[in-house]
A and B are shown apart, each in its own frame.
Chain A
Amino acid sequence: MSRYIPATEDERRAMLEFVGVESVDEFYSDVPGQVLQKELPRLPKALSEPEMIRHLQGLSRRNKNADDIPCFLGAGAYDHFIPAAVDAIVSRGEFTTSYTPYQPEVAQGTLQAIFQYQTMVCELTGMEVSNASMYEGASATAEAAVMASVVSKRTHILVAKNTHPQTREVIRTYCWSRGLTCEEAPWADGRLDRKAAGDRLAKGDVAALVVQSPNFFGVVEDLEALGALAHENGALFVVNTDLLTLGSIDAPGKYGADIVVGDGQSAGNSLNFGGPAFGFIAVNKPLMRRMPGRICGQTVDREGRRTYVLTLQAREQHIRREKATSNICSNQNLCIVAASVYLSLMGPKGLREIGRQIMAKTAYAVEALERTGKFTRAFPKVPAFRETVLLCDEPVDRLNGRLMDAGILGGYPLGRDYPELANGWLLAVTEQRTKEEIDRLVAVAGGDKR
């Protein structure tokens, strides 16, 4: 018996006897004989705990991690500092090994954590209502697009082409399966091309204008103008953003966003090779009952004490089945607990300070790279945050190869997704990058091979 099963051989026999069977095979008597497995599955032999640790260390060492290679790569996953207290809290078994809080009396910890998280998301996004989390930013954006189509009874989704390529791909997949049409609006000078978007919206059949800000190029969009454009044409305005950036950048809710979605990995969650982290979605009250996923609400118990419960469940799959607003059930709860601890430690001042350091370090890195004469900024006229598009005088893959040889993880090669930016290099600079690391990046990228 494996080390995770307490029953001894004697206990097993006694239990079989109590049930009145000779062997466990009798429990499987309804399984047609021809499909009952005669052989054991072909799996590797069991490893003891010490053997397993050695095996995992072997696999883990074959990956270069951000502790060893300073990370200037972003494009949807960011290397921000995570205080030790975050993992100390989310390692507690009471958070890790509990189920969805369907029995509120024994889940007030998780429920209050969700309620507080919802409050923080609303404060950051400038919206009135948040749910308890989504899988990640891309599928959250696709769910927002579907929701907009249901609300507006229109079938076309217009997505800015400077939205993360993977987000656009996920929206396309969801649209195909729902019978919706997904179209893309071009960009100009790094921002969504307002004229082209306006022309398409004017046809009056677009359910949602979906934009990302800061967009895939790191450029902050003019949300006020884009929100007005969407609303003039009867479309919902869906803004995809990154939770951490909202400590420094104005809240999309201030500019008329109807649905704000995005990724929260940057707030207290490790890179984890792309997951788990979490997505968020926030709306204003009129759309509250159209939202996907779990929502926690405040109420009182029998004694009038403040109590939290999952609420507005008439939207959800376990009540409404095929009429639910979404099929989402398990979400990313432990990741939002991590984010809540992170945001509580940082507070508004901490987030602002992180933003200040990101902007200063970005400016320092970009200016130094430009001074090498090998790089120019692609979009110098528009504001950018945390990420900058640089045009490089050598193929980006070669540049990144030289950097990796020097132990540095370089930026994202934009030519993969944007042929018009063939030598485009998307450089991410977080507060984690030191002057020394930036200087080394500049030296190697600028041609010095030390």
Chain B
Amino acid sequence: MADDKDVLRDVWFGRIPTCFTLNPDEITEREAEPYYLLLPRVSYLPLVTDKVKKHFHKVMKAEDVEEMWFEYEGTPLKWHYPIGVLFDLHASNTVLPWSITVHFKSFPDRDLLHCPSNSIIEAHFMSSIKEADALKHKSQVVNDMQKKDHKQLWMGLQNDKFDQFWAMNRKLMEYPTEEGGFRYIPFRIYQALSERLFIQKLFRPVSPEGNTHTLGDLLKEMYPDALTNDGEQKRYQVLIHGIEPLLETPLQWLSEHLSHPDNFLHICAIPVPTD
């Protein structure tokens, strides 16, 4: 299945052109130029924005600099969501580059988790992998791994090493052939413009009758509003890594190939743009 391996690479190397601009209320010694970066969709903002931080620190006094955080059109961006999810959720269907505002003051600690160091990102990342494996294999695979194996997953993500990451991650993607898939599919459905954050429930890749569950089956059960009924105008785009997969796609295949490195399938339901 050479093609499927290509899918993993395409997902891993997905990039979003981004323009970082300093919040105009920050105190600077001279004008701050915007900073441009290609952000990896599967990574986390604080993991790939060291250069952004350094760039803006150059024009600021040390005493005016506190914990860095990001905002898009008034919404503080949650660093603990993968970058691609933040983009799909808040900025899909807008003009590129993605324009992010950088702040060094007034950290919104009722909205955002603090991220004082990369070890916090690592802990968050590993805790997601553990949770996903609890769903997929009752934690058996992740618990059988050694500490250095966990480190390999994290280092693979941190240093953008596809082969290093997947050499270990493929173990998390295995399942007994006779069962036809994982125990449950680790997924989250995010709804833009909804009070409810995301839907995360138990859902099996195969029905009790032995039928393969598809993306459409999942949505029908979890979020039927996202589906278009006959004769209706399409109201939602269902995005994974910025694309709209066919609703007939088997969920197990999606879980193995379109999950983020945290092993969750992050699905965004975005209202179709009206204009």
Is B a genuine binding partner of A? no
Residues on A facing B (Cβ under 8 Å)? none
Residues on B facing A (Cβ under 8 Å)? none
